Structure 1
Amino acid sequence: MEISAERVWSAALPVLVILDEEGDVPDVLEQLVPSDATAVREYDVLIVGAGISGIGSAYHLQTQCPDKSFAILEAKEDIGGTWHTHRYPGVRSDSDLYTFGYRFKPWVGPPIATADEIRKYLRQVVADADLGRAMHFGTVIVRCSWSSEEKRWTVETRRRDGSAGATYRARFMWMCQGYYDHENPYLPDWPGMENFGGKLVHAQKWDENMDYAGKRVVVIGSGATAATVIPAMADKAAHVTMLQRSPTYFFCYPNRSDLADRLRAIGVDEETVHRCARLDYLDNLKTLDRRSREEPDMVFEELKEMIRQYAGPDFQFEPHFTPSYRPWQQRLAFVPDGDMFERIREGKVSAVTDTIDHFTPTGMHLGSGDDLEADIVVAATGFKLLVMGGITFEVDGKTVDWSSTPTYRGMMFAGVPNMLWVFGYFRAAWTLRVDLLGDFVCRLLKHMDERQASEVGIVVPQSLAGEALTPWIEDDNFNPGYLKRDMAKMPKRLGDLPEWRHSQDYWLEAQDIPAIDLDGEEFSYS
């Protein structure tokens, strides 16, 4: 019997199942799933989330701290996180996979990858490291409670069907569940939505059975999701209109790495190719970030020239493609091979900059007084921030209020022991911080062992005791709508020192985090 390379995971517990060539589970490999929800399971570390953060963190823990027992708790029935949740047409990364991928796993495909390609990459990491044995799927965390007396977290769970789940206990919590609500995307409450006679769907809640061939489609939004959905739908739809409240910056470039292609052509091994291409992309990102602050007008002219390569030399940027903010104040929407602008040139896509006054039976009545008709409306309106996955956290019986809790470097929190949150970068690939924090947590766990400590806490130095709590990040540093809407829910900065904020600066943190003094005044051990 031939066994395929694809591996899937039971939606129940850490049982690695291999499919045969028909896609079925071979009888000889079928496993009975443990059903005792009353059992208490003890681990050194619990990793929450089996997306790109959780898988990377588990790899680092297993590799750098092989003596530590761990489990990965995942609410969904499969790995992938964002890349499992998002199913809209054309779904792909908006970061290059040389930096969005892990430093330890070479990426060998095009820089911008589809969700299927990313899931395949993640499955290979899991298979190579045998991480499937640690994965507990369909496990929804209800409450995490820390006991200073026992020096342990107790984690209560339920199954996805609402029935009781197992209880877990662990020395350390590694929160890798991301930062947005996977179940409830952001959808404005436009007047008259109930009157619309067509189909209204949020991109995050995509109906894979929806037929849009020959239909008039309106996509609301102009960010990375819209830039993905629009060209993917344009070839089948009668026409696609991008309806935006305000313009976005787009970065158009061929979906290739010239450096990686050249290195491969001369016979360089893939690990070296990956490392060199990763460094090249990081240097380019750093340069773009700097230039966006120092010479934003020149950067915009260069972005325009890139767009003209696909939209044509006479493409008009006013009024629909001239943003009111400088580049990089919101994330650049990467358009590989300029596909959206090629569809605009072909007449398959158009843009409207306006607001929605109300929905009508046949479409939308806009703030300008115009009417926009549609058979299908796709809301690419973003998501809702969700701190710690919306899980209730308690420390010695007191509920943690994240909105009034100071953060240490955007990863640990005053008054919350033995816990770290992976929150990545907005202007660089998210996974870069996964690798950085993976090293940090493993170093911290080893340091605790050396000190024979069971608890590590973050304490605010006396010198900062009078400092006011301020928003998670500076508004003028990065101001997308989803962050501004829910900023009040986020943990807080304390003063202006880099230790008490999430700097969002990978290049600074790549130096600072490995150099953190684990015996510094911010750390308390017992």
Structure 2
Amino acid sequence: MTAENLPLKPALPTFAHLGATPPEDANAHPIAANWIERLALLVQQSDVPELASSLLHPEAWWRDLWALTWDLRTFHGRPAIGTFLQDRLALFGLANVVLAKAALQRPFPDVAWILVYFSFEPATGTGRGTARLVLCPDGSWRAFTVSTQLDALKGHSERIGSDHRDLSVEQGDWVERRRRELQFEKNPEVLIIGAGHSGLEVAARLKHLGVSHLIVEKNERVGDNWRHRYTNLTLHDPTWTNDMPYLPFPASWPTFPSAAKVANWLKFYVDALELNVWLSSEAIHAERNEKTDKWDVSIRRVDGTRVMHVDHVVLAHGFTFTKTEFSGQSDFHGRIVHSHEFQSAKEYVGKRVVVIGACTSAHDICSDCADHGIDVTMVQRSATYVVSIAKGVLSLLPSSEWEKTSIDELELIYHSLPLRLQWTIGARLAEQVRGLDRDMLDGLTRVGYQLSNGGADDGGVYRLFCERGGGYYLDSGACRKIIDGKIKVASGAAVECITSTGVALSDGRELPADVVVVATGFDDARVPIVRLLGAEAGAKVPPVWGLNAEGEVRGPWRELEGLPGMWLMMGTFAWARFFSKFVALQIKAKQEGLYAKRYAALVEL
């Protein structure tokens, strides 16, 4: 099967698709050991054609996470994988391939594979990998997925544990030492813009690799990016998926902690790990100095402007909210508020509120209004994917799994699956969750709420997050209020304009309002980058977020194309925990001269 005739929609390796059904008592370990032994031998012999034909299913996937490519790449089908291995094995190698463990898994009644864990050594460090072996019609077990992941750099392990702990009893004046450290009389190697969770997590990774860092944060306190949001905001992912590197959330915490609680935790994280942060400090301009190969970054502080000359800049500002403007809004006699400015519905009691938007912030704001007895209407311009937290999210991310298995192992498993294959799995899981949520979804439909099944191929919330960064709502209570009529919904029409007295829709309806809340989602992720670099340099930045031709997210966790030494760090708590490690490893490798040529995917404009 060639790349040209691979299925357009990635197929699951069902028994029907494979043409073979494994025995119930398949012995995973000897099957995995034989596959690993063959892999090691064929790599040693540089026999890529035999490796592809005998060890890989024709529709196999290989996802490499910085181990052999210094990039995040996915290759689908024997020809594409063969080309990748021919290009990179000679440069990186795949030495000392060792089986760690294996287990037969049955994720669905008609799908079974042997999940293989192995370790290996690329030229620059150590790595971990996985393979999912499926039974083929000829009786051979071949890999349907393979992943290779960089784990550490040779000679540069993380500075944690007894081997690196300071054992001296005399610590001197620690307060004075930290004060001098934070003055930065010498330039740090890395400047991180933003002290949200992404910036803090990559700073922690860099510190434990011995790379000097400084975080600049425009707010007065670490965590203000959470404190300044609406008061009823909570995390919508369970706590056990969101642990930060080196310092997990307390086991006594609620499943969905409040924004204020998270904000205080981020401040504690900085203090406990001794991360270097300048508060009330804003990076206002960055320019690449071609003579020094450094970034010259101007930082505005309360005591003046300072210019730092650094090897690397990490942009950790996250998604910025779009300030959508509507025709006629200047004539509105009431108040227009953007979602990131909204604090509490208390001040709007007795007023009529219209919220434009129908994703997470819009639902949370409407729910707050309903709790205060406010006449509130949600304008739903397009269908929304909805999944309950109690039945849906917690069934997909069960504490029984996350709290009994190491985070490292879970991340290795989850991120070994190419995103496009995850969509196919996600469609099945989404169908199961819709069954659990049927009463809620039917109730929403009855009142005119428009439901999405999660983008193309019904891929669910994960696909929407990767493609759009939004388009969904994880229900924390608003849906019941919509069904009961406490939150009114105006669906199926665009906003025509804002009049002096309310919001006019394209179907002729006009919604009277005293307050209009604009909750229209995120802006182009390049906006703050362009603001920092200037229009001319910023215009060269390729698209950020969404998926490239290989099905990988564009932009984050690598050097930005055409901007050496500038990195983008963004994502959920869980993604930031995982991908911050690779940003730090790449930067450390560059600082130590270990970084080889990146095997980068084509940039799509």
TM-score under structure 1 length normalisation: 0.64
Correspondence for 1:503: none
1:158 is displaced (CA, Å) by 1.9
Q: What are the Cα deviations for residues 481-512 of structure 1, in whole angstroms up to 9, with x where unaligned?
A: xxxxxxxxxxxxxxxxxxxxxxxxxxxxxxxx
Correspondence for 2:149: none
Report whether the alignment pairs 1:71 with 2:231.
Answer: no
Correspondence for 1:44: 189
Report whether the alignment pairs 1:416 with 2:563.
Answer: yes
1:250 is displaced (CA, Å) by 0.6
Structure 2: distance between partners of 1:292 and 1:197: 46
Correspondence for 1:474: none
- With over 3 angstroms needed to count, the CA separation of the structure-2 counterparts of 1:457 and 1:447, relative to structure 1, is closer
Q: What are the Cα deviations for residues 42-61 of structure 1, in whole angstroms up to 9, with x where unaligned?
A: 12221221111111011111
Correspondence for 1:235: 371
1:316 is displaced (CA, Å) by 2.9
- Alpha-carbon contact 1:216-1:237 (below 8 Å) kept: no
- Secondary structure (helix, strand or coil) at the match of 1:357 reads strand
Report whether the alignment pairs 1:172 with 2:312.
Answer: yes
Correspondence for 2:486: 348
Correspondence for 1:202: 338
Task: Identify which of 164, 171, 188 aligns with 2:325.
Answer: 188
Structure 2: distance between partners of 1:277 and 1:449: 25
- With over 3 angstroms needed to count, the CA separation of the structure-2 counterparts of 1:295 and 1:76, relative to structure 1, is closer
Structure 1: distance between partners of 2:490 and 2:304: 49
- With over 3 angstroms needed to count, the CA separation of the structure-2 counterparts of 1:121 and 1:290, relative to structure 1, is farther
- Alpha-carbon contact 1:100-1:430 (below 8 Å) kept: yes
- Alpha-carbon contact 1:73-1:135 (below 8 Å) kept: yes
Q: Which has the higher contact order (CA 8 A, sep 6+)?
A: 1
Q: One-letter code of the match for 1:220?
A: I
Which aligned pairs between 1:474-493 and structure 2 lie closer than 5 A? none
Structure 2, unaligned stretches of length 5 or more?
A: 1-174, 545-553
1:291 is displaced (CA, Å) by 7.1
Structure 1: distance between partners of 2:423 and 2:586: 35
1:145 is displaced (CA, Å) by 2.7
- Secondary structure (helix, strand or coil) at the match of 1:42 reads coil
1:227 is displaced (CA, Å) by 2.1
Correspondence for 2:502: 363
Structure 2: distance between partners of 1:139 and 1:400: 22
Task: Identify which of 276, 279, 300 aligns with 2:410.
Answer: 279
Q: One-letter code of the match for 1:49?
A: G
- Secondary structure (helix, strand or coil) at the match of 1:413 reads coil
Correspondence for 2:269: 125
Structure 2: distance between partners of 1:447 and 1:358: 52
- With over 3 angstroms needed to count, the CA separation of the structure-2 counterparts of 1:450 and 1:359, relative to structure 1, is closer
Structure 1: distance between partners of 2:336 and 2:450: 25
- Alpha-carbon contact 2:384-2:452 (below 8 Å) kept: yes
1:410 is displaced (CA, Å) by 5.6
Structure 1, unaligned stretches of length 5 or more?
A: 1-28, 264-270, 472-526
- Alpha-carbon contact 1:41-1:167 (below 8 Å) kept: no
Structure 2: distance between partners of 1:140 and 1:210: 32
Structure 2: distance between partners of 1:314 and 1:287: 35
Structure 1: distance between partners of 2:475 and 2:311: 44
- Secondary structure (helix, strand or coil) at the match of 2:541 reads helix
- Secondary structure (helix, strand or coil) at the match of 2:307 reads strand
- With over 3 angstroms needed to count, the CA separation of the structure-2 counterparts of 1:382 and 1:400, relative to structure 1, is closer
Report whether the alignment pairs 1:377 with 2:516.
Answer: yes
Correspondence for 1:112: 256
1:295 is displaced (CA, Å) by 8.1
1:125 is displaced (CA, Å) by 1.5
Q: What are the Cα deviations for residues 25-45 of structure 1, in whole angstroms up to 9, with x where unaligned?
A: xxxx99xx99xx9x9751222
Correspondence for 2:445: 316
TM-score under structure 2 length normalisation: 0.57
- With over 3 angstroms needed to count, the CA separation of the structure-2 counterparts of 1:335 and 1:405, relative to structure 1, is closer
- With over 3 angstroms needed to count, the CA separation of the structure-2 counterparts of 1:43 and 1:227, relative to structure 1, is same
- With over 3 angstroms needed to count, the CA separation of the structure-2 counterparts of 1:443 and 1:341, relative to structure 1, is closer
Q: One-letter code of the match for 1:244?
A: Q
Correspondence for 2:16: none
Aligned residues: 404
Structure 1: distance between partners of 2:240 and 2:398: 10
Correspondence for 2:35: none
1:74 is displaced (CA, Å) by 1.3
- With over 3 angstroms needed to count, the CA separation of the structure-2 counterparts of 1:73 and 1:306, relative to structure 1, is same
Q: One-letter code of the match for 1:74?
A: E
Correspondence for 1:499: none
Structure 2: distance between partners of 1:355 and 1:409: 32
Q: One-letter code of the match for 2:207?
A: Q
1:126 is displaced (CA, Å) by 1.4
1:234 is displaced (CA, Å) by 0.9
